[in-house]
Amino acid sequence: MKPVRIIQSRTVVLPTRDIDTDQIIAARFLTTTSKEGLGKNVFHDLRYNKDGSEKSDFILNKPDAKGCGILVAGNNFGCGSSREHAPWALLDYGFEAVVSTEIADIFRSNALKNGLLAIIVDEQTHGWLLENPGVDVTIDLQTTRINLPGDRTVAFSIDGFSRHCLLEGIDQLGFLSKHLDKIKSFEETRSWKP
């Protein structure tokens, strides 16, 4: 995995609460055997009309949203299914980070393993970001702080191990594989066998 240290971008805001993984990438797009090419269908039913044309009033279709790498979303983003296609689609579209007050457990775990920064900020910061779409912010994973316009900085929270893996570009399978001797010994010595 490519190391992630600093993300500098404008924000795009989806204020709706409880945006589920079916909305991020609908089930009909999961009949793929690769991770690539899902970005064109991210938020598909919010983004496109029935005839395939873009819905002009949807935030991602506004000219200002082009090139924004940081998605600020309503509380409990990514709830629902375990489909890793959700972070794959967001990354493929061009997002590098998702910011909310709460991010569902499985989505967050999947996102961080793919280099999509899923980070939690306090309610006040979240409220400010929701009200000020399109601002330039810098997310510094080294210091776990977000730099907002006007020299303001606020802390964000992220699991320490995930942060370490992201900063160093560590593949978690490689990390886990270093414990294979302990796994073998666990299998041999446990009191019952599955």
Partner 1 sequence: MSTPTTLFEKVWADHVVVEETADIPAVLYIDLHIIHEVTTPQAFSVLRANGLPVRRPDLTLATLDHSTPTTPVTTFKDLLVAGEGAANQVRQMEQNCEEFGLDLLGYGSGKRGIVHVIGPELGATQPGKTIVCGDSHSSTHGAFGALAFGIGTTEVGHVLATQCLLQRKPKTLAVNVDGTLPAGVTAKDVILAVIGKIGVDGGTGHVIEYRGDAVTALSMEERMTICNMSIEGGARAGMIAPDDTTIDYLQGRPRSPQGADWDHAVARWRALRTDDGARFDKSVSINASELTPMVTFGTNPGMVIGINEPVPDSDDPSFRKALDYMQVESGKPMTESTVDVVFVGSCTNGRLSDIEEAARVLKGRKVAAGVRMLVVPGSEQVKADAEARGLDRIIEAAGAEWREAGCSMCIGMNGDIAQPGQLSVSTSNRNFEGRQGVGARTVLASPATAAASAIAGRIADPRNYS
Q: Tell me how far apart the alpha carbons of residues 82 and 25 are, in angstroms, rounded to a whole number.
A: 12
Quote the least distance from Cβ 110 to partner 1, whole Å: 4
The residue ranges that bind partner 1 (CB under 8 A) are 15-18, 20, 22-23, 26-28, 30-35, 45, 50, 74-76, 79-84, 102, 104-106, 109-110, 113-114, 159-161, 164, 172-173, 175-177, 179-180, 182-183, 186-187, 190, 192, 194
- C-beta of 6 vs 183, nearer to partner 1: 183
Quote the least distance from Cβ 76 to partner 1, whole Å: 4
Q: Tell me how far apart the alpha carbons of residues 80 and 34 are, in angstroms, rounded to a whole number.
A: 21
Classify residue 45 as left (phi > 0), alpha (psi -120 to 50) or beta. Answer: alpha
- C-beta of 138 vs 170, nearer to partner 1: 170
Residue type, 180: L
CA distances from 131 to 33, 57, 144, 174 (A): 39, 18, 22, 41
Enter the DSSP assignment of 48. Answer: B
CA angle 135, 166, 110 (to 5 degrees): 85
Quote the least distance from Cβ 158 to partner 1, whole Å: 12
Query: Are the C-beta atoms of 18 and 76 separated by less than 8 Å?
Result: yes
Beta-bridge mates of residue 163:
none
- C-beta of 111 vs 137, nearer to partner 1: 111
Quote the least distance from Cβ 188 to partner 1, whole Å: 12
Quote the least distance from Cβ 136 to partner 1, whole Å: 26
- C-beta of 102 vs 140, nearer to partner 1: 102
Quote the least distance from Cβ 15 to partner 1, whole Å: 7
Pairing between β-strand 70-73 and β-strand 97-100 as defined by DSSP bridges: parallel
- C-beta of 8 vs 186, nearer to partner 1: 186
Helices (H) and strands (E) in the chain, counts: 8, 7
- C-beta of 149 vs 194, nearer to partner 1: 194
